[in-house]
Structure 1
């Protein structure tokens, strides 16, 4: 057997989506080809410690590192880090920058595109500049909320109720609230602004939700775009409670006619280029008034067994062994920016 690549599978993290990350890490360990990869699990817990498991034995802890920096302090110890983390701190470019400074190859999008893609307000501005539909919004900073009461009320009059209050950063499933009246709106703004520096309001669009995933680094090779999927769930919002309990379905075929599906795929690929994503992305849409509105981009989609992208891959007939090979190859071949 030729030398296997030494792979560190990084999961856990500080965010409320750490459970999704651990599901993703478990799936990678289960499906990684053992003839090609020697995998160790690095579980980053909320206290900051990183527990390192023996290769091929995720329950056998061999070392506890005091920080994420300490865990990867030894240069070239691993050929690549498979990053399965989710959340603001884990996906907003900080971790990617750390790996790039250390010249440590890793999977997922690079630092610059992660910074931009994680900020939903910046993302909406890029969508608008590209001539694409996204709901109107009002951005608010935590420092000047008291000065913007009139603007908030004016936006509520324009958007109508119910409306959406979101954090500019953070996983949207955990940082999105719906308000049915003015009192709920101000309470939601206060709740999110206590945690996040910037929040925004946007109108609620009543319609079905669709998503498109794109793999690839823009360049000579064509992108791989998965079939359009519909995310079906009870209620009005695809929120954290629904996601955590797996109370949703990913439907392929999605029910749209062929021309509508091609348009969503074209838009997803356009955004992949606009954001300069160099690994993968997922773009969420909601149809309203017969038009597809962009909700947000996902810079680091979940890879757990019941996560959206794996279900889309399954529907497309793409094996997990193939995906892992592609992620590793993409991370190893990408230039450190």
Structure 2
């Protein structure tokens, strides 16, 4: 009998449109001879299953079931394709765990930790993971521009602490633009991390558990046409994503080791994609994503293809790992 797989997509954050694209790529790629696949839209105003005729069927939040043709349907596994809140920050993983419903993302604590850039970096630093100098700021705090610049220098990056897809991220080269960047970033999140600028090659490293083994996928080098790898660079073609990356053997070994260690230190599950910048051949961690983009053009699927893993194999494996 085919397993019933719900693919959750959408979410409540600025990333919901990207998530919908990822979700439907997953739906279309999953082997239909093995699974019954149900696209599930998790949005602020509704949780619904959207059938082939675009008819919406409400999801019962008490047990995450749906009614189809008068019959109640329970899922065997959930494929989590929600970037941002509530799929990537621990809320849905915790909910699914309470329901004893297998899901493809990592557990609640790991999801929440990796989504919080400040907390994630703080946990990893004692393990020797290198990162940029940083300054923390919350909504309502006094903005001491001198203290910020003394700590991180210029140029620097002002980042929303809990956001993805480069929403709420600003590069600041002059002090006169710092306050505006802070206020704009606070529209995306009430916590900020302000980091020193690191000059060097940027790479993205995918790590997955594949057929029971943690593997590091081929590395992608990021060459942005903009000042940094922002939303336009990620999604509107303003960058080159080169897989495998044109980096030295030493850099490759160092970053592969760091990415795998992060996956294992944090006890992650499913997919992870970590971003690094090289400084003197040493990788400095920028952030960890546990539900990266999953469209055909997204970085992690590119890396999987370079490793000889097709999208159907990648997504099927994620479900098999979750069910185990």
In the other structure, the counterpart of 2:37 is 39
In the other structure, the counterpart of 2:69 is none
In the other structure, the counterpart of 1:157 is 150
For 1:79-111, what per-residue CA distance to the aligned partner results, in whole angstroms no more than 9, with x for missing partners? 111111001333111111111111111111111
| Moved beyond 6 Å, runs of 4+ | none
Q: Which moved more, 1:181-190 or 1:191-200?
A: 191-200
Shift of 1:69: 2.6
| CA pair 19-62 structure 1, distance change in 2 beyond 3 A | closer
1:141–1:197 contact (8 Å) kept in structure 2: yes
Q: Compare the two structures and name the one with the higher strand fraction.
A: 2
Q: Compare the two structures and name the one with the higher helix fraction.
A: 1
Gaps of 5+ in 2: 67-71
1:96–1:110 contact (8 Å) kept in structure 2: yes
Q: Which of 303, 317, 326 in structure 1 is aligned with 2:308? A: 317
Calculate the aligned-residue CA RMSD, in Å: 2.1
Q: Which of 135, 139, 142 in structure 1 is aligned with 2:136? A: 139
In the other structure, the counterpart of 1:72 is 64
For 1:189-213, what per-residue CA distance to the aligned partner results, in whole angstroms no more than 9, with x for missing partners? 1222244221121111122210111
In the other structure, the counterpart of 2:48 is 51
Q: Which of 5, 8, 12 in structure 2 is aligned with 1:7? A: 5
1:142–1:194 contact (8 Å) kept in structure 2: no
For 1:150-202, what per-residue CA distance to the aligned partner results, in whole angstroms no more than 9, with x for missing partners? xx412313433221001211115102111122221111112222442211211
Kindly report which structure 2 residues correspond to 1:191-202, keeping only aligned pairs within 5 A, or say none. 191-202=184-195
SS in 2 for 1:88: coil
Shift of 1:258: 2.1
In the other structure, the counterpart of 2:55 is 61
| CA pair 247-69 structure 1, distance change in 2 beyond 3 A | farther
In the other structure, the counterpart of 1:285 is 276
Gaps of 5+ in 1: none
Give the TM-score taking structure 1 as reference length. 0.88
For 1:265-320, what per-residue CA distance to the aligned partner results, in whole angstroms no more than 9, with x for missing partners? 11001000111102221111112344321111112111111111011111221111
In the other structure, the counterpart of 1:81 is 78
Q: Which of 309, 316, 319 in structure 2 is aligned with 1:328? A: 319
Shift of 1:133: 1.2
2:85–2:91 contact (8 Å) kept in structure 1: no
